[in-house]
Structures are given as C-alpha cells and as structure tokens.
Structure 1
Amino acid sequence: MDNVNLNAFTENAARLGMRIQETFSEHTRDLSITRGGASIFDMPDDKVKNIGKQLDSNSDREKLDAMKRLIALISKGRNVSNYFPQVVKNVASQNLEIRKLVYIYLLRYAEHEPDLALLSINTFQKDLADSSPLIRAMALRVLSGIKVPMICGLVVLAIKKCAADFSPYVRKAAALAIPKAFQLDAGQQPALISVITTLLRDRSPLSIGSAVVAFESVCPTRLDLLHLQYRRLCKILIDVDEWGQVYLLNLLLRYARTMLPKPTVLQQGESTEEEIDADLQLLLVSSEPLVQSKNPAVVLAVVRVFYYAGPPSSTSKVVNPLLRIMHISREVERVVLAYLLIITRAQPQLFSMQYQRFLVRTDDPSQAKRDKIKVMLNLCDVDNHQALLREFIDCADDVDDTVVGDAVHAVGRCAASHSVMHGMSPIRRILSSTKQMSDIVVSNAVLVLKALIQNQLLVDSSAPVSSQSPLSIIFHLARRVDDIKHPQARACVLWLVGQYSAAPGASTVIEGVADWAPDVLRKISKSFNTEGSLVKLQALTLAAKLFLLCPTDQRLGLLCGYVLSLGRYDLNYDVRDRTRMLNALLVGISPTMNGREMEEQSSVILRREQVIKVLFDGKAGIIEENEETFGLHHIPIGSLSLVTGKATLGDSVLPEWLEGGIDPLLRQSEEDVLPVALPPQAISSASSTAAKTLGSAGVTPIVLTPTGSSTPVREAKESHRDLEKFYASGSDKKSSDSESSPEEESEDNLEEGDSAHDSEESQDDTADDESSEEQEHEVTDGSSTKVQQ
C-alpha cells in the first residue's frame, strides 16, 4: 500500500514539475519579447519578410509579434499598407492585444484601402453588441475613424446606439466619435445635435467632458441647448476629468458672458458693493476648488473664468495659484507669464508685493527673460521702483541683444514714470552701453535717452549745464555721432542736436548756437550720400534749424545751403520733398537759399519767428509703447496667439457681455423645483391600528371629531339624601325612556344586543380561564403527590 501511494505521489510531482516548466517557459518567452522592444525597431529585412507568414499563423504569439513589428514600422514612417488584407483577417481575433493593434493599423490605412476596410465593418458592428464595454468602445472608435464617406450613416447609427449604452466609458467613446462623423458628412448635424443633447444630460461625469468637446466641434453657437443643463454642469464640474474640466470651463464662460448679466460695482460713499447674478455666482463657487488642481491647464482655465466673468474683487483668488504653477516647468512658465502680462497691466496691485517672484535668472530662456521684464515693468510703483530699476540695469548686461533692448526700454519707462532723473544714474549706465554693444542696443539706448531728455527739458527748461544735465548728455552723444552706426539712432542724435542747439546769451563762436552743433552738421554733410533716408531727413532739418538760429553767419549759411542742395537732387522722393518744404520756409529769411529770386516766388512768405515756431515748437516728449515690444494686449488670455505673439487660426473669440441677461426661468429644470412639503396631520391612537390594516388596501381611515366644545362635558351627578327621592328619579327616567322615538329604541336594542353578546363572550372566556386554572391545579397536585410518594 505504501508503494502504491509513493508511486502516485511521484507521478503527480513529475506532472506538476512539467506544468511549472511549461508555464515558466511561456512567461520567459513573453518577457523576452517585452524586453526586446528595441529589437523590434531595429529588425533586419529577413524578419520583415516573415511578417506575412506570422500573420497567417495559427499561433496568437506569432500574430502578436507580427503586429508589434508592423506598428514599429509605422512609427518609423515605413509604408506597410501591403499587409492590409492579412491584417483585416485578424480583426475578429479573440486575443485582446492583437485586436488593439489591428484596430490601430486599420485607423492608419483604412483611408488608403476603403474597399478592404469595408470588409471589417460587419465585425465592428457585431463588436458593438459585445459584453465587454472595452470592446464596444474600441469598435466604435475604429468604425468612426475609417474615413470613408459612404459609411457615415452607419457611423451615426452606431453613435446613437452607444450614446444610450449603460457603460459611461462607451458613452464617452460615442461623444468622441461625433466630431469624426461630422467631418465625414456635415449634413448629419441635426442628428448629431440630438445625440449631443442626450449626452449633456448624462448623470455620469466621465462622459460630460467628451460631450462638451463634441458640442464645441459640431454646434459651438447653440448655447441655448445649455439652458436646462447649466446649473447641473456647474455642480458636477469638480467630478469631471481634468481635460474635460478645461473644455467645460471655457464653455461655461462663453455661456455666462452671453446669457448672464454682467456683475456691477456700486459706489456707496467710501465703500463699494458688488452685484452678481446667482447663476454666475454658482459658476464661480463651483470652479474655485479647481485652483488646487495638479493640472496647470485646469488652473489657467479657472483663472480665465475669474478674470473675464467674476467681479474685480474675485481676481485676487487666482494670484497664489498662478505663482504656484509658474515654476512647474519652463513650458508652463512661458504660458503663465503670457497670462500675467495681461493681468498685471489691468490690476498691477495684485502682484506688486510679489515682484521678487519675477526676477530674471541667468538660466531662463530668452523669451522668459523678456516676459519677466515686461511683467516687472507693469508692477513698477512708488514703493518698488528703485529695486526694479536696479534689476533693469543689471538685465542691460545680458548677452542677448533682445533682452538688453527690452531692459533699456524698461529703464527709460521706469525713470520717466517715477521721476528718477535726479542723479542721472540710469542715463550714465545707458551711455556706457554705447561703447561696446551692438547697433540695435545702441539704437534702443539712444531712443530712450531722447525721450528722457525731452521730458526733463520740458519740465525744467532752465537746466544747468553740468556733467549730468540733459544738455551735457546731448553734447556727449554729439561728440560720438561717428561711433553710432544704426540709422534710427543717428537720426535721433541729429534731432536732439537740432532741437536743443540754441544757446541764447552764451559766449559761443556762432552767436546763439552751441559750439558742438555746427560740427555735427559738418560731419553728416561729408557722408550725406551714403546715409539712410532717416538720417538724411534729420540732417536737412538740422541744417534749417541752425540757419534759423543765426542767419547772419556766412560760414553756417554756406554749410546749410550745401546740405539743402544735396537733398534737392537726392534719389529718394521723401528727401526731395523735405528739401522743397524747408526751402519754402526759409525763403523769407534768405531769398537766395533755394537759388531763385524773390520775385519768382509766388508762395506765402513767413517771417523768422513764424518759421522757428514751425520747426521748434510742439514736440512733446513721450515714450511711445510698441505693441510688438510690450505684448499684444488686444488678444484675450487663453489663446495661442498670446503665447506665440502671432495670430493663429482657430483661436476662440471671447463674446461680449449681454446687457441684462436672459430670463433665469429658462435655466430652471425639474431638479431645481423642490417638492412642496405637506402640513403634518394629527394621528390618533385609535386610528393608528386601522391605518395599519387598511393602508394596504388604500383606504383612508375616517376620524370623527365633535362639532361642539373641544372637551366633553360630563353630566353632574345627582345627590340623593333619602330612598324616596332615589326611587322617584328612577321612575322619571323610565317614563322619559318610554317616550323616546322608535329609531332610538332600535339603536338601544342593537346596543343592548352587542353588549349582551360581549358579555356572553366575556363569560365564556372567564369559564375557559377557570377550567384551565383548575386543570393546572390538578396537575400540580398530582405532581406533588408523586414527589411525596
């Protein structure tokens, strides 16, 4: 017996060992395929030739390996459409992994082989009724991805079927298939809109985001479809998937600005009061928790809602979330800075205390540096302008010329806005940059200097001539005019020299003219033919201004006449027109300036004071804001154009606010109508048992209430002092009873019969109780006698 058990145990152990070995070999083979993913991409040509044989094989492992190699070849850009017939045969494979790869292949090449793709449609339609929701969703995804217009009707029917599926995952796939069907045939829009309306009423938040994507693709202007769903969509906003929240927030923002009244701010003395619609408040309250999302796109969508739909006080809630996500990655930082350029320009007080978060780092990308400079410039105020000015000056030493140019402009705007011209430290720093930097940087520095000097001289026209005065800076630029090569910068220097070259009352070589001004004109006259048109125009204006200051000086007159004669025969039309205009202005001062006699002039002749008024006065010193430099402020936040700086196709347009909004009753659904609570009814103990027995039959018990006094009045007992009065009262009652009506007598008889019946039953019950007690007594007596025996 022991030998038999030992043999059986040995056989079972051998079988178990073989089973374990086979299972281990199967797993290791799959592991080798998984780890050898790199070999799939670097396969030799002989393995490519074996793909067809593997697809026709009966082994699922071979088919799976072949499909992996086909997908790898597709990812490398190889054309593998010649395997289409063999792949289609495996569309009904029982292996889920093979079927997934087959579906990917069909999505790639179904458009190139529409006839062969139609062969697999029956399989997809069968899969729409599969028990697995994953298979149903995949079948609809592939069926809608086959870009064959002749099957658009079948696709729409499949979408309608899956939109009513009990699985939310399948309904989500149906929503994502709607835009594909709309691209195949735009005539299916009415049918697709009805499906979208059904999906928007879905209770599961899993499919709401995809339904919103379908809505934006098929009917983005049909906001009336959202009336009954608006409040419910706001309430389930927090449960929608992350990317669905982005699309849903943008849709609700468009609905709010189109259908809801704009929030207003009322000024009541020193305090302000905000009026906001209840439905708009619901949107803001529902979206506020989403600022804690890990997805930066969701946070930016919430910021867009609060900025464009909320009252001004609600924008402060997005400050910390924006600063939190700004340092997630460089890509996110780039987008957040684009948002901040708009927000800080409109409400700089929100971030004025956080300016240190925008300081430029050396490892920042060039565009990020430029955006940070612009943001800090928007935040510049009385409290932080000194620190920001030092930061801008440090940024002027950057290796990137574009960053330096923006920094120089920022220095000029900061200095001009907050009156930091005293000390001229920004000016000295900008002047030092002209020695070794590029022409673009020098041009920006000269432009800023021009504006700063204009503003300072307009404020204080009697500025002393010192090493830091504006006139000394102009003298410094005039001496180095040969070192400045950029045409726009040279033109700015010539304009400054001509505008501020007057020196009344000073001991100069030429009376009324600064000593360095004629020398600048002499240098420019030598290179007049090689200068740009901007420099030539300013050179002609400089010559006219110097001649107006001292028309009696012969040398200055000859130099100015020479420059005007060069402009008279220049190739540029603008230069020749400027020359003719200046000759017409100067004809009253020097009749021979333009080479004609006074008698030949038929135009109006101006006096010297009038010409000085024309050429010198009316030059306001301002710094013009360049949209290209300081951002595209007309583009709303949330658009790609704001980030790229160029207009892109497909950017959403933010609608304007409606005057008073639509009737809020249109948004009232059945869920918003609360059931009316019924008043509580008094329940008596007598009717409670009747209600239990009659409740199943649906009969309502009747409770009788007295119509007279609320409390029953008992008759007073008569007091009898002797027997004669007692018997007398009894005879009176009998006589009164005999005089009662027959109906009362019948009622009394019935009551007496009931009471008699009740008394008989009570007597029977009493007799039964007495007999049972006697029997128990006899039993106890019998048992006691047995115990005694």
Structure 2
Amino acid sequence: MPYLGGEETVRELRRALSNPNVQSDPLRYRNTILKVIRTMSQGVDVSGLFSEMVKACATVDVVQKKLVYVFLCSYATLNPELSLLVINTLRKDCQDPNPMVRSLALRNMTNLRLPSLVEYVEQPLTAGLRDRAACVRRVAVLGWAKLHNLQPSSEIDAAVVNELYSLLRDPDPVVMVNCLRALEEILKEEGGIAINKPITHHLLNRLKECDIWGQSEVLRVLQRYRPQSEDELFDILSLLDSFLVSPHPPVMAATLSLFLSISSNLPAISLAALERVSGPLLAACGSGSREMRFAAVCHIQVSATNLNIRFTSHPRSFFSSKVKLKKLLG
C-alpha cells in the first residue's frame, strides 16, 4: 500500500536536493539524503530521485556515500542507463586513498546486479584482490562470487581463480575464509574447491585465527578431504582435538562431523570423539535458542542411531520449558 502523500513528499525532496543552498551545506545535504532513505523505507516510490542521488554520491563524506549507495543499489535495475554514471563514480572511488571508501565502492559496484555493467566491474575487482588493505581484499574476493552468481553461464577467468587460490594464504583470516566461500561458489559445477594435502594442513594450522563462522566454514569444506596415510590422519585429529570441545556449538558440531568423516574406518576413534562431545551436546539441549536445541538433539539422534551411544541417564536434557523436543532414551 503506497504511503499517503508520497508524490508530494517526493517533489519536496527533489526541490531540496536541487537547492544550491542545501548542496552548499554538507550537514543539511546529508540530512536531506537521510530523509530520502527514510521515505524509501516507508514504502514510498522515490525512484524519480535517481538523477539527484547520482549527483549526491560525488562527495568525500563517507556517511553520505553509504546512504546514497543504499538508494542506488535499490533502484539501479529500474534505471540501467543512469546506472552507468554510478559506475563511473564507483570506479573513481576504487582509487580513493581511503581504504574504507575503496571497499565501499567495490561492495556497491557488485550490489548493483546489472549484467550490462559486468565489463566495468571486472577490472576494479581484479585490482582489489591485490589491494594493500585487507578490508578491500575481503570485499573483492566475495565480489567475484557475486559476479559469477549474476552470470552463472559465463566462466570466470582462470587467472582470477588462480589468484583466489593464492589468496588462501593471505595473512588476513577473513580474506582466507572469503576465498573458500568464493571458490566454492565459482567452482560449484566442478565440485567446489580442490582440497589437497597442502591446503588442508594450511587451513587447519590457521583455524584458531578465524572467527566462529569462519572456523565452521573451513571445517565444513575439509570434510571432502581424505588423509593419505594413518599418520596424516592422526596429525589432523591432533589439530582438531581442541575444537572438539569448543564452547561454540557450531564449531563443535562441525568438528565432530569432520572427525566422523575422516575416521569412518576407525569406529573406536569415532566412538571416543562422540563420547567427548556428549557433554557439550547435552548442554546445548538446554540452550535458549530453539534452533540450537533442535540441532543438538539431531546430532544426538545420529550418535544414538549410528554408533549405539546411550543417553538413558540424561532424560531431563531432552525437554524444554518452551518446546518439547524429541525423546531419546535409547
């Protein structure tokens, strides 16, 4: 349902954005742009202000740039021709000395999601992969995944894929994890990223540097790897040992899945791993999150079904004051 008085509001905003007195006052100009965003969030169609907002993105004010980019990314598909002007501004911002501005420009360049502008985006993204600032590299890596998602039928240049593989050794852990995600997306039809022994051990050795979701992502991807010898298997299990009792349930669950995956031929090790995590799993059954409780119970169900682990001494763990979960008493 359109917002009442929307047309008159848009006319007032256009007059304000075009007013030289407003444009000459940075604070008033920014507040006017903020009103445009607020009006847009109320359901008013403000796409008619696209030309005025394109002019407003030519500023050194980072906050104003962020506001304008929110607007432009929302309405770019309705104004593909004018969006070319936006690309020119974004490409210029990609060379700004401020890394925050460079990363912001790259992110919004890929958020425009216009296939006709792909040719203008590729060069800044390639340069972004070699940027000295980690925040820019993080955005550039994911930008290639977005670009592939925009045109899944077109192949990403092999040189870009090789560069993404090399960035798995980037000193910034977020760049490393983003490379994993991007390569998984780009190489989806080929089965995802190729996991070999050097990559596996490199990722495991840097696992502690990653945040919770980064650790979960790395552990999930490594489930495709199979150790080449028993010695290597035990080396990997040793590296994973501390994560098996992680205080963070997603990491603990991902580690358990990897443990069970690579030690499937050694039931004694699988059983020992499940016994070690039984305490954290039972604790997760009392979590305040409904989704967490359900995931914990599902893991316990797999344990009880496949490896005959009994939980008969913990009946209270499978009930919640808010949600009655599955009763697993063996």
Cα distance, 1:355 vs. partner? Answer: 3.2
C-alpha contact 2:184 2:192 (8 A) present in aligned 1:
no
The residue number in structure 2 matching 1:302 is 255
Measure, in 1, the Cα distance between the counterparts of 2:157 and 2:84. Answer: 26
Output the amino acid matched with 2:252: V
TM alignment of 1:196-275, pairs within 5 A: 196-220=164-188, 221-224=191-194, 226-256=196-226, 260-261=227-228
The residue number in structure 2 matching 1:651 is none
Measure, in 1, the Cα distance between the counterparts of 2:126 and 2:38. Answer: 35
Deviations 1:98-142 (A, max 9, x none): 101111112211122111111121221121121111111111111
Measure, in 1, the Cα distance between the counterparts of 2:232 and 2:33. Answer: 53
Output the amino acid matched with 2:322: D
Output the amino acid matched with 2:313: M
The residue number in structure 2 matching 1:353 is 313
The residue number in structure 2 matching 1:99 is 65
CA separation of 1:282/1:204 partners in 2, compared to 1, >3 Å: closer, same or farther? Answer: farther
CA separation of 1:340/1:88 partners in 2, compared to 1, >3 Å: closer, same or farther? Answer: same
The residue number in structure 2 matching 1:372 is 326
Q: Say which SS state the counterpart of residue 215 (structure 2) adopts.
A: helix
Measure, in 1, the Cα distance between the counterparts of 2:72 and 2:135. Answer: 22
Output the amino acid matched with 1:232: H
Residue 281 of structure 2, aligned match among 318, 322, 327: 322
Q: Say which SS state the counterpart of residue 138 (structure 2) adopts.
A: helix
The residue number in structure 2 matching 1:51 is 13
Cα distance, 1:338 vs. partner? Answer: 2.1
The residue number in structure 2 matching 1:165 is 131
The residue number in structure 2 matching 1:190 is 157
TM alignment of 1:109-148, pairs within 5 A: 109-148=75-114
TM alignment of 1:758-769, pairs within 5 A: none
Q: Say which SS state the counterpart of residue 131 (structure 2) adopts.
A: coil
Measure, in 2, the Cα distance between the counterparts of 1:301 and 1:225. Answer: 17
Q: Structure 1: where are the runs of 5+ without partners? A: 1-41, 262-275, 380-789
322-331 or 229-238: bigger deviation: 322-331
Deviations 1:23-70 (A, max 9, x none): xxxxxxxxxxxxxxxxxxx99756554222332331222332233233
Q: Say which SS state the counterpart of residue 202 (structure 2) adopts.
A: helix
**Runs (4+) off by over 4 Å:** 42-48, 291-295
Residue 297 of structure 2, aligned match among 307, 326, 337: 337
Identity %: 25
TM alignment of 1:412-491, pairs within 5 A: none
Count residues in correspondence. Answer: 312
**TM-score scaled to structure 1, two decimals?**
0.37
Measure, in 2, the Cα distance between the counterparts of 1:355 and 1:49. Answer: 65
Measure, in 1, the Cα distance between the counterparts of 2:94 and 2:141. Answer: 15
Deviations 1:234-267 (A, max 9, x none): 10011112222222111111223xxx35xxxxxx
**TM-score scaled to structure 2, two decimals?**
0.84
Cα distance, 1:222 vs. partner? Answer: 4.8
Q: Structure 2: where are the runs of 5+ without partners? A: 264-268
Cα distance, 1:301 vs. partner? Answer: 1.7
Larger Rg: 1
Output the amino acid matched with 1:62: R
Q: Say which SS state the counterpart of residue 15 (structure 2) adopts.
A: helix
Deviations 1:637-666 (A, max 9, x none): xxxxxxxxxxxxxxxxxxxxxxxxxxxxxx
Output the amino acid matched with 2:173: P
CA separation of 1:203/1:338 partners in 2, compared to 1, >3 Å: closer, same or farther? Answer: same
TM alignment of 1:266-285, pairs within 5 A: 277-285=230-238
Cα distance, 1:282 vs. partner? Answer: 3.8
Deviations 1:159-211 (A, max 9, x none): 21111111111111111111111123342323442232122131221211111
Measure, in 1, the Cα distance between the counterparts of 2:194 and 2:296. Answer: 33
Of Structure 1 and Structure 2, the greater helix share is in 2
CA separation of 1:248/1:43 partners in 2, compared to 1, >3 Å: closer, same or farther? Answer: farther
Cα distance, 1:214 vs. partner? Answer: 0.3
C-alpha contact 2:94 2:103 (8 A) present in aligned 1:
yes
Measure, in 2, the Cα distance between the counterparts of 1:61 and 1:44. Answer: 26
Measure, in 2, the Cα distance between the counterparts of 1:115 and 1:304. Answer: 49
C-alpha contact 2:243 2:252 (8 A) present in aligned 1:
yes
Q: What is the root-mean-square deviation in Å for CA atoms of aligned residues? A: 2.5
The residue number in structure 1 matching 2:117 is 151
Measure, in 2, the Cα distance between the counterparts of 1:301 and 1:154. Answer: 39
CA separation of 1:232/1:55 partners in 2, compared to 1, >3 Å: closer, same or farther? Answer: same
Cα distance, 1:350 vs. partner? Answer: 5.2
CA separation of 1:95/1:145 partners in 2, compared to 1, >3 Å: closer, same or farther? Answer: same
Measure, in 1, the Cα distance between the counterparts of 2:11 and 2:76. Answer: 22
CA separation of 1:289/1:103 partners in 2, compared to 1, >3 Å: closer, same or farther? Answer: farther
Cα distance, 1:295 vs. partner? Answer: 4.4
CA separation of 1:118/1:372 partners in 2, compared to 1, >3 Å: closer, same or farther? Answer: same
